[in-house]
Structure 1
């Protein structure tokens, strides 16, 4: 194993399931660390993913619905998926408004996805059937192409998911939770992670309020006052291996860095 890979594996823990090339282990557990309980229909774009891999391994991740047929998640979540069950529109994890299943998932990985460095940790999934849109199931808006240069530094943002409540928790959350924090500048984030790139976006976790194991692939959203609506600005990627509640930033894939690719694959694009 290359030294660079060893260092990365010691530094970070994937916020949902471990990616195979870093061999950090598998399993389903957790809740948002230090978060609040979500209300019904508060996050209608939130998708839960139960992912089956070879040898009867299972994991849990989040995702964001961006149209009635496409959703975004982290590439490391679905790297080895052989079957996926999609939970749409629910606050209670096992009580979705719509349940979809496929044994032949159509997953589009970013062509530059690198599981060793976690660069370009983003994937599009085409749902096996159309999502039935309603108050509980609605796509999240993407930033417009004109917003590609927005860094969102220090704006308030919200992450949601079924991840761990704290570093000691080992139980799967039955309820969707969320945490509201501020986006941290990449410059500040590099004090914690030397490998932060322009394609990442970081969230402050002061006070132990953070994404955690089980939240990977889930959304980071910002309520854009110019659009008067929530927009998807991040996809939960990783955090410090030492723990979710230690105050280190949470790292996300920056959605604005991939708007052209998302549009090309899914047809979803905003000016």
Structure 2
């Protein structure tokens, strides 16, 4: 999650440069301001995950040649593939993938991957909210109780309405270990909302490539959870990738935006061979 980003977007040209003072500006989750020490950098108002509860999540540590580093979340979708947000991979030279971690600094093992093995969506422009999805080709990993894939929606489910369905978000969050963020994997149960909820708040630019969650009681993603998975309770399939939220911060009770996985099933299949 880069709310996992640093774990665990503009809706239109008019909001190409988010302004923190405007509660209705959309920003990538990794760039959301933190307003309270009580939720700094974590899944907001969630609960700790027990070991093996979320075997498909990975912690991603990105770096670039200028000494920059940032954290994100991602999900294992195949033995040699991880999926995350394009705003996580964008500008990175490499990533270290932490597998099977509950404590994020205590993974079962890690793999280092060069940016040549990043497959960023070809229509992601680094600014607008659309097409915020990327794939990372990885060394082969074997599946077991602590490291396993999450299934994607089937092609015959791509037009299913999932409004009001319950799902789980997960991530570690935090820009640094000294920022007060938990090092432990956290989860939160959220309900998928109609895209109109995000449209009404952000004022446009939301389309069928997006998924929206309302955040009553401030439950949801926060700075650092970017790229992390949203997985339905009833089918255990990943339907969303954490993408954007309000520049007003995590406690604004503003809806959060995700990349809708069903909108990219063809693209995922064409690049990975994975389909259901």
Report the equivalent of 2:85.
Answer: 74
2:180 to 167, 171, 174: 171
Q: Any residues of structure 2 matched to 1:23-42 within 5 Å, and which?
A: 30-42=41-53
Report the equivalent of 2:148.
Answer: 138
2:216 to 183, 191, 206: 206
Q: Any residues of structure 2 matched to 1:172-251 within 5 Å, and which?
A: 172-193=181-202, 194-224=204-234, 229-251=235-257
**Contact 2:201-2:254 within 8 A present in 1 as well:** yes
Q: Does 1:266 align with 2:268?
A: no
Report the equivalent of 1:21.
Answer: none
Q: Does 1:49 align with 2:60?
A: yes
Report the equivalent of 2:100.
Answer: 89
Report the equivalent of 1:160.
Answer: 170
Q: Which has the higher contact order (CA 8 A, sep 6+)?
A: 2
Q: Deviations over 1:33-92 (max 9, x none)?
A: 111101100000001100002310000000010001001100000111111100111110
- Tell me the matched-pair count: 250
Q: Deviations over 1:193-247 (max 9, x none)?
A: 22211110011110011101110000001023xxxx4000000001001111211
Alpha carbons of structure 1 residues 5 and 97: separation in structure 2 relative to 1, 3 Å? farther
2:157 to 141, 147, 156: 147
**Contact 2:75-2:82 within 8 A present in 1 as well:** yes
Report the equivalent of 1:123.
Answer: 134
Deviates more, 1:190-199 or 1:98-107: 98-107
Q: Deviations over 1:130-186 (max 9, x none)?
A: 123110011000000001112310111111111259xxx933431010110100100
Q: TM-score with structure 1 length normalisation?
A: 0.87
Whole-Å Cα distance in 2 between the matches of residues 38 and 217 of structure 1? 18
1:14 to 16, 19, 28: 28
Show structure 1 runs of 4+ deviating over 6 A. none
Cα RMSD (Å): 1.9
